Structure 1
Amino acid sequence: MAFYTDLSDVYDALFPVSEAQKALFDRILSSGPVRRVADAGCGSGAQLLPFAQAGAECIGFDPDPALVALARKKLGRWPAARVEVGGFADTERLVQPPADLLLCLGNSLVHVPQEEAARFLRDACAVLSGGGRLLLQILNYDRLLLHGVTSLPLMTVADGAVEFRRGYAWEGPRKVRFRTALRVSTGGQPRIFHNDISLHPLYPDELWEMLSRAGFSDIRFTGDFAGSEFSPDSEALVSLVRKP
């Protein structure tokens, strides 16, 4: 996917693992045995890193080869961690059950049509152990649709040398064009990368039903990784669900 290939050089700077994410990962690791962890849409591998460091067997997969190369470099010190090129449809092929935890973060799930997202959730439940958990994070598309949001906040890093502009062009409630401009001013002449990809929104009620039909229980949404109450105004939707 050319979009993420363009981003790969600055991916970790734009999308660092937040302190709230780290704290949640710590709570998961301390709540019981976490022997095998998978990350669907693993990006640079940064979210898998704490689990690899804790001694878990880790498998990450992502459809973008440039990000897979980045993740392999990041996780290369841990022989029990591997990263493969693959998408959501490859979950059952790539994840050796039983996994104790499956991650799907960074709004990754809406990169595929809703039917494929539902299939992924069923496959995720199939590869998890009894009591295994899925940690999922997307944007709150109820809020975005209700307010007709067409632009997301400007992201800047490296003292403004990297700028990432993001816009939405709605084609109806089931599909939106995600249009971006990445400007990188480091190392001489500024470089600008434009991309336009399709996203397929999932709404809270719809996602709840998908998770339930997939076989998950203890379904609860929060508004961020710190566990704040989910509301119509929440920017994100985070859910840690369990396979019975």
Structure 2
Amino acid sequence: MPDYYRDLAADYHWIFPDEVVNHPGVIGGTSTDSRELIEAVVEALPPGAPVLDCACGIGTDAMALGHAGFQVTATDGSPAMAAEARRRLPAEAEVLTCRWEDLSAVVTGPFELVLCLGNSLVHTGSHKAMVTALAGMRQMLSPTGTLIVDSRNWELLYRERPRIVAADRVRQRDGMRATCVYVWTIPESFGEPCQAELLFLTEHPDGGLTHRRHPLEFQPFTPADLEARLVEAGFAVAGSSYRQDAQRYAIAATRAEQHPG
């Protein structure tokens, strides 16, 4: 899988509001359409439970969970994203660079909660690779643990077929102002991958303007696809925040009782 986030990592924080990227963070803050589902699962965890964020990105979700008293381990497949996460997490939090299929060889579990948020699973690129990734996450779960994965609502995106989607506001940090614009290229067939260019337009303290462009590619899937692949990887679906008109959704799953491994 290409490291789309090598150069994007330094700009990624501009996507989120201050309360999500700054300490103490917001539980489920990167998945606003699914916060109710995520908060319900987190509230049911024992105090101080071990939690794995295996798509930690710049560390926002892991930061919020750590502040809430959970024992957090954070991993990401992108070294640059993991480096950004280390800046936000306390020294005692373990932050590792690791692909999902390698989790059992790199990370010591088990965990009561495994998170894969940020629309990350779409980068697996194929049915087989997604099942392999999910199976890697399953190996990290305790018998009573829960996995939460989230996704963009790709069917809605392909129906609406937007071309340019701008952020709802300009953000100001460290003396600079910036905003993010998605420029989409969506094919006619749902089975074909779509592309997005993330443009960050930045105004510097001296009034100068710059922009940075980060191309991404996504292989879409439906909620039914995701649920079927979770089952194939050894999970039982326990809950979903999917709504036909919502931009994103999350699915909670537990280990299936009858499954090898």
Q: Same fold (TM over 0.5)?
A: yes
Cα offset for 1:12? 4.9
Does residue 87 of structure 1 match 2:99? Answer: yes
Q: Offset of 1:76 from its aligned partner?
A: 2.0
Note if contact 1:61-1:83 (Cα within 8 Å) is conserved in structure 2: yes
Q: How much has 1:56 moved relative to structure 2? A: 2.8
Partner of 1:35: 49
- 1:42 and 1:97, CA in 2 relative to 1: closer, same or farther beyond 3 A? same
Runs of at least 5 residues in structure 1 that lack an aligned partner in the other structure: 224-229
- Which AA in structure 2 matches 1:234? A
Q: Which residue matches 2:158?
A: 145
Pairs within 5 Å for 1:97-116:
97-114=109-126, 115-116=128-129
Change (3 A) 1:154 1:32: closer
Matched, 1:204 2:217: no
Give the drift of 1:209.
0.4
- For the pair 1:222 / 2:241, whether they are aligned, the reply is yes
Asked if 2 retains the 8 angstrom alpha-carbon contact of 1:113 and 1:200, the reply is yes
SS in 2 for 1:133: strand
The alpha carbon displacement at 1:145 in A equals 1.6
Paired amino acid for 2:219: H
* Contact 1:14/1:156, CA 8 A, preserved across alignment: no
Q: Name the counterpart of 2:186.
A: 170
Tell me the equivalent position of 1:10.
Answer: 14
Go from structure 1 to structure 2 and tell me whether the alpha carbon gap of 1:104 and 1:237 turns closer, same or farther (over 3 Å shift).
same
Q: Partner residue of 1:60? A: 74
In structure 2, do the counterparts of structure 1 residues 14 and 89 end up closer, same or farther at CA, with 3 Å as the change threshold? Answer: farther
Provide the C-alpha distance between the structure 1 equivalents of 2:106 and 2:152, rounded to a whole number of angstroms: 26
What is the count of residue pairs matched by the alignment? Answer: 235
1:179 to 1:144, Cα distance in 2 relative to 1, 3 A: same
Deviations 1:49-98 (A, max 9, x none): 23323443221112333332221121124x2x111123333322333221
Q: Calculate the TM-score normalised by the size of structure 1.
A: 0.83
Q: Any conservation in 2 of the 1:208–1:219 contact (CA below 8 Å)? A: no
Q: Are 2:107 and 1:72 aligned?
A: no
With structure 2 as the length reference, what TM-score do the two structures score? Answer: 0.78
Give identity over the alignment, percent: 20
DSSP-derived class of the 1:217 partner: strand
Report the Cα offset of residue 154 of structure 1.
2.7
Distance in 1, matches of 2:106 and 2:94, equals 10
